[in-house]
Amino acid sequence: MPVTLFPHGIAHYALGGTLMGLGVALLYVTTGRPGGVSTFFSSSWSWLLRSPFFRQGAFLESRHWRLVYALGLVLGGGLFLLAGQTVEASHIPAWKLALGGVLIGFGARLGGGCTSGHGICGMASLSAASFVMVITFLGTGIVTASVLKWLGV
Closest approach of Cβ 48 to other proteins, in Å? Answer: 9
Number of chain residues interacting with other proteins (CB under 8 A): 123
Among 47, 64, 84, 152, binds other proteins (CB under 8 A): 64
Give the per-residue contact string, 18-37, with other proteins (x = CB under 8 A; - = no): xxxxxxxxxxxxxxxxxxxx
Min CB(113)–other proteins separation in Å: 7
Tell me phi and psi for residue 80, to 5 degrees.
-60, -40
Contacts of 44 (CB under 8 A, 6+ apart): 63, 66, 67
Minimum gap (Å) between residue 99 Cβ and other proteins: 6
- DSSP at 5: S
Rounded Cα–Cα distance for residues 5 and 134 (Å): 21
Closest distance of CB 43 from other proteins, Å: 9
Beta carbon of residue 47, minimum distance to other proteins (angstroms, whole number): 12
- Is residue 47 at the binding interface for other proteins, with CB under 8 A as the rule? no
Nearest to 61 by CA among 89, 86, 26, 31: 31
Nearest-angstrom CA–CA distance, 103 and 99:
6
Which residues are CB-contacts of 72 (< 8 A; sequence separation ≥ 6)? Answer: none
Rounded alpha-carbon distances, angstroms, from residue 145 to 53, 108, 111, 114: 33, 18, 20, 17
- Site residues for other proteins, 108-137, by CB under 8 A, read 108-130, 132-133, 136-137
Q: Considering the rule CB under 8 A, would residue 84 count as an interface residue with other proteins?
A: no
Q: Applying CB under 8 A, does 13 fall inside the site for other proteins?
A: yes
Asked if 88 touches other proteins (CB under 8 A), the answer is: yes
Among 80, 84, 151, 152, binds other proteins (CB under 8 A): 80
